[in-house]
Structures are given as C-alpha cells and as structure tokens.
C-alpha cells in the first residue's frame, strides 16, 4: 500500500476498534488506538504473512507482548481475512475465540500473551531458531512502555544482542501512560533509548503516528548487521479521538453512546481529509 492508503486504513481500523469495544462493553481503548498505526504499517506493508496460509513456514512472526491492547490486532486480522469479520461481534463474549488478549487458537496469532514481559524472550527464541534453520523471516515484538519495568524484558534484550539477532525487531509503543498514570511517575524509564543502546541494540526513534517514518524504519531493519533493532515509536494514548488523547482514564474506558458518536464523527472527518488529499495528489 501507498502511505496515504495506509493512513486511511489506520483510521478505518480505529473506527472498527471503537465499535467493537463499545458493543462488547469492555476493552483496552487507549493503547489499541496508540498502536494502530504501528500494526497497520506492519500488516499491510512490511511483514510477509498469508491469511490463507497462516502457518506458512516463511512468514514473518509477530508477537503482541502488550497483549491487553489486542483490539486493533483483532480488527486487522479480520480485515485481512484470517477469520470472518463478523466474528468481531463476539469479542469478549462467552465462548468466543476473540478474548481480551491474543489467543493462539485464532489464525495469525503466534502465542498467547497478556502477562507482560514475556513476548520479547519468546521472540529471541524464534529469531534464534530462524538463524539456526537458515530461514530469512523476521520476528517483530510489540511492547508497551509500562512493560519496560519487567526484568524479563532486559534479560531478553541481553540475549538478543548476545546472539546477534539482526532478524529481531522490538517495537515500543511509547505513549508514556499506563493504567495508573504516567510511566515516569510509576517507574521512571528514561533515558530509555540509551538503555537499549547500552544493551547492544540499534535504536531508531520515530513518531509512531508518522506512517512514512514507520514504514521506513520497519522495512529497513536491520540497518546494522549483527544487531537487533529497537524501534522507539513515540505515540499518543487514545490517538485519533481528541477527548481520549493522553487521558489515563481511557486505558480501559469503554465509550458510551455519545462518546462513540463523537469519536466516529472525528474519525470520519479524518477520512474525508485523507480522501481530499488523495484527490489533490492526482
């Protein structure tokens, strides 16, 4: 997809996320809106995946280590045809496959996640297996910034550098908020980029809502042979809905009828802007 098409798709995914969470009356809204652009870039442009052959041996692997923000991932997998889009209506309902965290009973999901701090370690194992099997697939692992307080993240970071896993790409959704407030108030992380560099990773810091920057950073990884890549995606929690942006309460707030209408109206306006810009290009 072209950059404008990716931006349009991301807005549509945000609308699907809000509708799904509103219907289910549960979900992690803020983080799903902040990671939507990252996932859109990955699934529609960067990664090698096949909805008709989810276990394709040469596929790139994706691990949603911040598994509580699964809503955007469910919407993208459905849009790509990994499962019927109608199934989104069952999100978090009794007996559904689409629970509130990634579930590997669903095509396209590599592993169950939810307990923070586990995803990168599994990603190290997958990337090491690819090296030893002489496969050229890449492994992408999306982490939250609050998750960086988990010691297991840093054990995995050391291992990734030790084994020179340049087929491993870590991504941090750096929206600076977690369930109980600012990440810096809960457990100070800065200087976060320098810490990852000190652990032997090549660090790329970008605006996590700049689709062009996302695509370039993710496509180009690794820029340095023999080093894993860490993409610091600086994002806004609740991105795309003005009254949800940077508001800790929206970590798991479910929009009511009025909030849903207003949010969808904002996103619809954004879609019209993108369509207008596309017309000007042509």
pLDDT digits 0-9 by tens, 100-158 = 999 999 999 999 998 999 999 999 999 999 999 999 999 999 999 999 999 999 999 99
pLDDT higher than threshold 70 for residue 13: yes
How large is the average pLDDT for residues 211-222? 97
Residue 280: what pLDDT? Answer: 64
> Reduced to 3 states, what is the DSSP secondary structure of residue 24?
helix
Q: Where are the domains of the chain?
A: 3-281
Query: Over pLDDT 90: what percentage of the chain?
Result: 95
Quote the tokens at residue 158. 């050391």
pLDDT band at 278 (very low <50, low <70, confident <90, very high): confident
- Number of Cβ within 10 Å of residue 264's Cβ equals 17
Specify the fold of 3-281. Rossmann fold (3.40.50)
Residue 181: what pLDDT? Answer: 87
Distance CA 235, CA 254 (A): 20
Q: Which of 267, 218, 221, 176 is nearest to 40 (CA)?
A: 218
Average pLDDT, rounded, for the chain: 96
Integer CA distances (angstroms), 177 to 2, 3, 71, 144, 189, in order? 31, 28, 18, 9, 12
pLDDT band at 168 (very low <50, low <70, confident <90, very high): very high
pLDDT band at 281 (very low <50, low <70, confident <90, very high): low
Give tens-digit pLDDT for 29-72: 999 999 999 999 999 999 999 999 999 999 999 999 999 999 99
How large is the average pLDDT for residues 262-272? 97
**How many residues are recorded in the chain?**
282
**Residue 54 near residue 82, CB atoms below 8 Å:** yes
Quote the tokens at residue 111. 């592993």
- Is the preceding omega at residue 191 within 30 degrees of 0, hence cis? yes
């Amino acid at each position: 997809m072209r950059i404008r098409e990716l931006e349009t798709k991301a807005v549509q995914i945000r609308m699907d996320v809000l509708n799904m969470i509103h219907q289910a009356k549960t979900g992690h809204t803020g983080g799903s809106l902040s990671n939507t652009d990252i996932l859109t870039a990955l699934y529609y442009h960067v990664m090698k995946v096949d909805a008709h052959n989810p276990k394709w041996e040469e596929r790139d692997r994706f691990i949603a280590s911040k598994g509580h923000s699964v809503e955007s991932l469910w919407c993208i997998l459905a849009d790509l045809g990994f499962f019927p889009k109608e199934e989104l209506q069952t999100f978090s309902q009794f007996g559904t496959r689409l629970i509130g965290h990634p579930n590997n009973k669903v095509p396209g999901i590599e592993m169950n996640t939810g307990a923070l701090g586990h995803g990168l370690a599994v990603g190290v194992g997958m990337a090491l297996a690819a090296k030893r099997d002489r496969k050229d697939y890449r492994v992408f692992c999306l982490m939250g910034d609050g998750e960086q307080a988990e010691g297991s993240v840093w054990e995995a970071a050391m291992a990734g550098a030790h084994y020179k896993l340049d087929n491993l790409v870590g991504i941090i959704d750096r929206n600076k908020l977690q369930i109980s407030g600012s990440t810096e108030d809960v457990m100070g992380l800065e200087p976060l980029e320098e810490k990852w560099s000190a652990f032997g990773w090549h660090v790329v810091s970008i605006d996590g809502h700049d689709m062009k920057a996302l695509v370039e950073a993710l496509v180009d990884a690794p820029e340095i042979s023999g080093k894993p890549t860490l993409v610091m995606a600086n994002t806004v929690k609740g991105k795309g809905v003005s009254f949800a942006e940077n508001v800790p309460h929206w970590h798991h707030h479910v929009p009511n009828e009025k909030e849903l209408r207003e949010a969808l109206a904002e996103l619809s306006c954004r879609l019209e802007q993108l369509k207008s810009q596309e017309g000007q290009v042509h």
